[in-house]
Amino acid sequence: MHGYTGKCLKIDLSTGKICVTNTPEGLCADYLGGRGLGVGLMGDRITHTCESPEMPLIFSTGPLVGTDVPTSGRMSVVSRSPLTGTVTDSSVGGRFGTELKRAGFDLIEITGSADEWVMLEIDGSGAIVASAAGLAGMNIAELGGQISSEGSVAAIGRAGENGVLYSSIMIDGRYAAGRGGLGAVMGAKKLKAIRVRGDRPIPVADPDGLAQAREDIMRLLRASPAVFGEFGIAEFGTAALVDLIHARRMEPTDNFRRTYFPEATRYSGYQIQMRYRTEKTGCAGCPILCKKMGSRGEVIPEFESVSHFGALNGCPDLLTIVEANRICNDFGLDAISAAATIACYAEISGIRPTPPELLNMLIDIGNRQGVGLALSEGSFRYACSMGRPDLSMSVKGLELPAYDPRGAYGMALAYATSNRGGCHTRAYPVGCEILRKPVAVDRFTFEGKARMIKISEDINAVADSLSTCRFTFLAAGLEEYSRALYAVTGRDYDVRSLMNIGERIWNLERKMNAANGFTRADDDLPERFFTEEGSLGSVRIPPVDRSNFLRALDNYYRIRGYE
Amino acid sequence: MLAAINKYLDKLEAQGLAKREDSTFLAVDAELFSNKPIEHDVAGLHEIFRAMNVSSLLFASPSEPYRSIIRRIVEWDSECCAENIIVPMDCETRTFFHDFPVVDDLNPVAISHALSRRKAVIVRDLGIVTHGVYTPEQAYVSYSSACFSMFVKYFHDSLVYFDSCARNCTQIDADYAKAFIDIAQQSVVTLRRECVALRSGPPRTEDDVTAMLAEAGRAIVTQRLVDSHFGNISYVFKDHIFISQTGSSLDELEDSIDKVPLDGSSSTGITASSELSAHKNIYLKTGLNAIMHAHPKFSVIMSMFCRAEGCDRRLCHRICTRKREVGMTPIVPGEIGTGPTGLAATVPAVMEEGRGAIVYGHGVFAAERGTFQRPFDMLAQIEENCRQQYVIAVSDLLKHLLDSPFDGLAESG
C-alpha cells in the first residue's frame, strides 16, 4: 500500500498499553489520511467529553507525507474541541508528520489519561511511555532545552497543562496546532510531549510520474504571484497580507467595531522584514518556506496573529506584537483566540490594555491566574459571564480570525458554515475574494458564493487529508495533486474522486457535530456584522445584508443536501 | 448567473472563438442557469454537470479557423492519434493546462472522466468542453486558452513538418498541405488591423493612469492581437507602478489595477500580474515607463520555430543561449515568474535598445516612455513581422507544391 506505512500506533495512557495495528485500508480509501482519516477513526467517540479518557487525540499523516510532492510535510491533529465542542482538527507543519511516517507509522491514536505527567518516545522500533514529571510546569522554550531536538517534538506548554480552552500543541517549538484547544486535550491526558524519530525511506509507486507531477506543481508555484511573486508569502510570509487586507479596508479593528486601522502599515510584512532581517524557514519538504525567523532567532508571527494583536487590540507596536506571539508560542496558546478574547475583554470592560498590560494578560491566561482565569475559557464564555454574549466575535465559540466578513461575503458564509467554528481555513475564500486565486470573484456579493464555499470546503478537506499546505492551492489544484497522489500510491485518483472524498469528510464532521447538539442555528455570525458599518474611512464597508446572507445560507444547505 | 453567462457568450463571439448559437453555457449556484433549454445535447451536459462538483460548464463548436485546426490536429497529430491527448507547446498553456484530452463524442461519462483530469476536453468533430470550478469566467478562459493553444500548435507543428520534409528531402503529404493551405488562407493572410490612436499626452493624475491602462488594454483585445486574458500592462507614475492585476481581463481593467510602490515598501502588489517583477525590472533597467505584454499567436509560433539541432525542446524556454531574433526583435528564454530562469531576469536585459522582446513560446514585451501609443504599435508590428516571416517561410517550403498560396501577403498587415 504505497503512500501508507500500513501501521498505526495506539496508546492507552490509562493502562500504558501500546499496540501496533494495521492502518485500516477501507478508511484510507474513504478518507485518504490526515484530517479525514483522523475524523473517520474518531467515530462515535466524538460524543465523549474532551476530558474523558475515552476521547482520542489523533496525530495523523496523509499519503503524500514524506515524499517529494511540494508542501506535503504536514499532518493533522484531531479530537473534539474543548472550546467549541465541535469535532476539530488542526493541520500543522514542522517535521513531526515526516518523522512519524519515517518511523513507520501513519498515525498515533492516544486515549486514556496517565496518573502523572508522561511523554512518548517513538521511533522505528515502537513507542515508550516515559515519565515527564521533571518537565511539568515548563513552557515550550524551556522544554526545548530538556528534550533532545533529534527528530521532532510535539509538546504543550503551561496553557495546555492548565486546561486553557484554546491552548495549542506546539511542533518543533514554533509550529502550532493552534485552533480549538487541542493542547488542553493533550493536557487532560497528562501527556506533556511526544518525540518521534524515523529514518526509513518512503517508497512511491511511480518515481518518474512523481517527478513529472512535482515539476508541474513547481511550475505553477513559480508562476503564482501570491506564492513566489515579489510580494508573495515566500518572500514576506503570511504577513504579506497585512498591507492587502488594510488596503481592502477589512482588517478587524477594536474587536471588530471597525475594519480599518490607520497604523497597520507599522507592522506590515515589509516593516517586519526591515526590522527583523528575516530569513526563510518552513516545514519539511516545503519549497515555499513561508515561516519567517528574525536574524536573532525571533519567530515572526503569522498574519492573523500580527493583525489581531495589532488592529484588533489597537496596538501598532511591532515589538509588542512579536513579543505577544512569542508568549503564545511559549505557553502554547492559540494566538487568534487569545488576542480576540482580550479584545472582547477590552470592549466589555471599557479598558484597553496598554502593550505591557496586554503581554501580562497573556501570561495570566497561560497560568490561569488573575484576570486570565476568566479569559482562559475564551471570549464566548467570558462574554456570557459578563452578560454580553453579543460581544464575543466568534462562531460556535471559536474566535474569528483577521478577515472582517463585511469585506468579503464568501468569508461571511464560510465562517458560518465552518464545522470547527469561526475559521478562515475551512474554505479559505481569501484566495478568490482577496488574492484573486484561482480566480477573482466580487467580494461584495453572495451570488455564486454558496457553491463556491461548498466546493472550497471539500477541496480543503482533501488538502488537509493529503497533508498538504493550502497555500499551494493558490497556484496548483487537485488536477495536479491527483496526479501526484496517483504516482505515490499507484491508485487512480482524479479530481472528481478526490472531491467526493472531501465531501464525505465534510459531511461526517457535520454529522458528528449534530451528534453533539449543533444545529443550523449555530451557523450564524455575531449580530454586529449585520447592524454596524465597518470602515469609516474613504471606503465605505456597509453591514452585511442579513436577508441576503440567509438566502445564501439556504442555497448552501440545498447544495449540500442538508434540507 | 445569467448575466455572467451572457457576458462570456458575448466575449466568445466578439473574439471570434464561437458563435452564440453554437455555444451552450451552464452555470449553477443553487439553481441551474443556461442559455438554452435543458433538452437534447444540453441534457447530456447537465448530466456531466451533475457528475462533477463544479460551478459552470461550457460546450461550444469553435468558429473558423479553430474548428478546422482542431479537426486537423485530431486527425494528424501523432500523440493525439496514439494517446488521445494534445500536448501544447507554448509555455503558458503548457503551464496551466498540461495537455488536452480528446474524446469521441458527447458521452457524459467520457467527458466527465476527462474533465476530472484536465480543465478542457476536445470532442472529436464537435467542439470543446470546459468547466469552471468556481465561476463561469474560468470556463470561458479555459475555452479561449484551448483555442489559442490549438492555433499555435497547428501552425508551429506544420511549419516544423514542412521544414523537416525539405531538409530530409521527403515528400510533403499532399492532403496535409492542401488542408493547411485552406486553413492558412483564412487565418494567416487575411488579418487586418486598424490604426489605433491612444491617449497622446502623459497622465497628470492617478485616474489618468487608470484610464490609459484601460484604454490600451482594451485596444489590444479589440484589435484581436490577443483574447482578454493573454497579457498584462503597466505604467510607472510618481514612484509607483500601476499594473493590471493577476487574472484580470485586458479589456476590463478599470477596476483591476494595482498601485505598487517601486521601493517595495508595501506588499499590496501580491495581487498584481505574475509579470510584475519583469515590468518593474524593465523600468529600472531602461527608464521606459509604459510597458505592454501580450501573447499574440504568430510571435509565439515564430519564437518556437528554430532550426538548431541537438537541443532538448522541452528546455528551450528556460535555457536557450542562442542569439535569436525575428526582424530586429530579440527572442529570449524565460519562465513565468521570478528566479534565474524567469523572464523577470531575461527580458529587461534586452529591452534597452529595441524596446521590444519576444519570450520563447510565451509572448511579446514592448515598452516606451510617456504613452502607450508606441508600445501598442510595436506590439502590433512585432506580431505582423512574425506573421510575415511565417508566411514567407511556409511559402518557400510549399512553393514546389502550389502556386502562390499566400498572395495576400503584400497587402496585409
Report ipTM for this prediction: 0.94
Q: For residue B47, list chain A residues with Cβ-Cβ distance below 8 A.
A: none
- From the list A240, A439, A559, the residue facing B137 with the nearest CB is A439
- pLDDT at residue B226, rounded to an integer: 94
pLDDT at B41 over 80: no
Q: For residue B113, list chain A residues with Cβ-Cβ distance below 8 A.
A: 494
CA distance A497 to chain B (A): 8
* Residue listed under C-alpha cell 529595441: B354
User: Cβ separation of B134 and A452 shorter than 8 Å?
Assistant: yes
- pLDDT at residue B191, rounded to an integer: 59
Which whole-number Å values give the CA distances from B47 to A58, A563, B114, B127, in the listed order? 40, 22, 14, 18
- pLDDT at residue A344, rounded to an integer: 98
Helix ranges, A281-354 (H): 303-310, 318-331, 335-349
Say yes or no: B32 contacts chain A, CB-CB below 8 A. Answer: no
CB within 8 Å of chain A, chain B residues 111-150: 112-113, 115-119, 132-135, 137-138, 141
Q: For residue B260, list chain A residues with Cβ-Cβ distance below 8 A.
A: 231
- pLDDT at residue B404, rounded to an integer: 56
| Selected residue of B113, B119, B271 to mutate for chain A interface (largest A Cβ count, 10 A) | B271
- Report residue B365: phi and psi, to 5°: -110, 135
Grid cell for residue A559: 447544495
> What pLDDT digit, counting tens, does each position of A136-167 carry?
999 999 999 999 889 999 999 999 999 999 99
User: Cβ separation of A230 and B335 shorter than 8 Å?
Assistant: no
* Residue listed under C-alpha cell 513579543: A323
Determine if the peptide bond prior to A287 is cis (ω within 30°): no
CB within 8 Å of chain A, chain B residues 323-362: 335-339, 342
User: Cβ separation of B266 and A451 shorter than 8 Å?
Assistant: no
Nearest CA in chain A to B132: A439
- CA pair distance B406, B401, nearest whole angstrom: 13
Say yes or no: B39 contacts chain A, CB-CB below 8 A. Answer: no
Nearest CA in chain A to B339: A222
CA distance B1 to chain A (A): 8
- pLDDT at residue B412, rounded to an integer: 41
- From the list B132, B270, B273, the residue facing A244 with the nearest CB is B270
CB within 8 Å of chain A, chain B residues 191-250: 245-248
- pLDDT at residue B43, rounded to an integer: 80
- pLDDT at residue B190, rounded to an integer: 56
pLDDT at B410 over 80: no
Nearest CA in chain A to B92: A223
Determine if the peptide bond prior to B65 is cis (ω within 30°): yes
- CB-based burial of residue B400 (10 Å sphere; 0-12 exposed, 13-18 middle, 19+ buried)? exposed
Kindly write down the DSSP assignment for every residue of A102-167, as one continuous string. Answer: HTT-SEEEEES--SS-EEEEEETTEEEEEE-GGGTT--HHHHHTTS--SSEEEE--HHHHHT-TTB
- pLDDT at residue B408, rounded to an integer: 47
Nearest CA in chain B to A225: B274
At A234, the amino acid letter reads: A
Say yes or no: A228 contacts chain B, CB-CB below 8 A. Answer: yes
CA distance B292 to chain A (A): 18
CB pairs under 8 A between A and B: 165
| 3-state helix, strand and coil shares in percent for chain A, rounded to the nearest 5 | 45, 15, 40
Say yes or no: B282 contacts chain A, CB-CB below 8 A. Answer: no
Nearest to B257 by CA among B288, B211, B220, B290: B211
- pLDDT at residue B360, rounded to an integer: 95
Nearest to B313 by CA among B165, B94, B147, B83: B94
- pLDDT at residue B192, rounded to an integer: 63
Q: For residue A441, list chain B residues with Cβ-Cβ distance below 8 A.
A: 134-135
pTM here is: 0.96
Say yes or no: B109 contacts chain A, CB-CB below 8 A. Answer: no
Report the pLDDT averaged over residues B349-353: 86
Nearest CA in chain A to B31: A555
- CA pair distance A239, A222, nearest whole angstrom: 19
User: Cβ separation of A224 and B337 shorter than 8 Å?
Assistant: yes
Grid cell for residue B8: 462570456
Q: For residue B248, list chain A residues with Cβ-Cβ distance below 8 A.
A: 436, 440
Listed range (A273-277, B188-192, B216-220) with the worst mean pLDDT: B188-192
**Collapsing DSSP states into helix, strand and coil, what is residue A371?**
helix
- pLDDT at residue B81, rounded to an integer: 85
User: Cβ separation of B30 and A555 shorter than 8 Å?
Assistant: yes
Residues 6 or more apart whose CB falls under 8 angstroms from that of A44 comprise: A515
- Report residue A220: phi and psi, to 5°: -70, -40
pLDDT at B188 over 80: no
CB within 8 Å of chain B, chain A residues 388-417: none
Say yes or no: A553 contacts chain B, CB-CB below 8 A. Answer: no
% of residues, chain B, pLDDT over 90: 72
Nearest CA in chain A to B268: A244
At B218, the pLDDT band (50, 70, 90 cuts) reads very high
pLDDT along chain A (563 residues), means of 10: 96 97 97 98 97 97 97 97 98 97 98 98 97 97 92 98 98 96 98 97 97 95 93 96 96 97 96 96 93 96 98 98 98 98 98 98 98 98 98 98 98 98 96 96 96 97 96 95 97 95 98 97 98 85 97 97 86
pLDDT at B413 over 50: no
CA distance B65 to chain A (A): 29
Listed range (A330-334, B340-344, B348-352) with the worst mean pLDDT: B340-344
User: Cβ separation of A223 and B339 shorter than 8 Å?
Assistant: no
pLDDT at B411 over 60: no
Nearest CA in chain B to A233: B270
Residues 6 or more apart whose CB falls under 8 angstroms from that of A10 comprise: A18, A19, A20, A21, A108, A109, A111
Say yes or no: A229 contacts chain B, CB-CB below 8 A. Answer: yes
Nearest CA in chain A to B139: A439
User: Cβ separation of B116 and A497 shorter than 8 Å?
Assistant: yes
Q: Identify the bridge partners of residue A19 per DSSP, sorted by sequence position.
A: A10
Residue pair A158/A367 in contact by the 8 Å Cβ criterion = yes
| Selected residue of A272, A443, A479 to mutate for chain B interface (largest B Cβ count, 10 A) | A479
CA distance A264 to chain B (A): 11
- pLDDT at residue B406, rounded to an integer: 60
